[in-house]
Copies of this chain bind each other. A is one copy, B any other.
């Protein structure tokens, strides 16, 4: 009997685990995504943002993630943050409520 080995992922990239936080850092969800587009769709569903414009930034420093290439270059444990219209990235320390000391 013959076993078909899994081919190296050429065409279809593998889904990768992403962590996505709300702007206030009160909710953080783990989401598997194949691409930035896929992640954006899932975020829209999961965080109930239908018809609400939002952007995705790095939770770490607010860097805007808007290209597929850049998304793919990020490490697996990257934490993203969703910013809705009017919301701004802020460092954790200034939010006060993150993990109180």
Contact = CB atoms under 8 A, between A and B. Distances in A.
A49 interface: no
Nearest to A29: B64
B32 A62 contact: no
B30 A66 contact: yes
Contacts of A30: 58, 63-67, 70, 74
Contact of A94 (B19, B62, B90, B99): B99
Interface in A1-36: 15-17, 19, 27-32
A78 to B, nearest CB: 10
B88 A101 contact: yes
Interface string A32-46: 100000000000000
